[in-house]
Amino acid sequence: MKVKLLRGEARSQLYWWHAVASWTWDAQDETCGICRMAFDGCCPDCKLPGDDCPLIWGACNHAFHLHCILKWVNSQTSQAHCPMCRREWQFKE
């Protein structure tokens, strides 16, 4: 950054700017309890993390990738239960 002094005032000229950002999911765990992949990443069915592979919380406060919990719920022959605590699975409202 170059600084010029004009009439007692400090003025600066910006030559470049490099922005850095990061995001994380606000979940109790760091990995999905079904696929064991990190929440910062994505489930095995997706190629990129983000809006296409969101986290879903249950009424029991356990979080999973959307695709993982949907497969889990659909694979249960009887009533679906949370894979972590075995409570009846209900999506958190």
Kindly report, residue by residue over 30-60, the tens digit of the pLDDT.
889 899 988 888 888 888 777 788 888 999 9
Domains parsed from the chain with CATH numbers: 25-93 (3.30.40.10)
Quote the pLDDT of residue 3.
53
Quote the pLDDT of residue 9.
57
Average pLDDT score, the chain: 81
73 CB-near residues (< 8 Å, 6+ apart): 80, 89
Place of tokens 């309890």: 33
Asked if pLDDT for residue 90 goes beyond 70, the answer is: yes
Burial category of 84 from C-beta neighbours within 10 Å (exposed 0-12, middle 13-18, buried 19 and up): middle
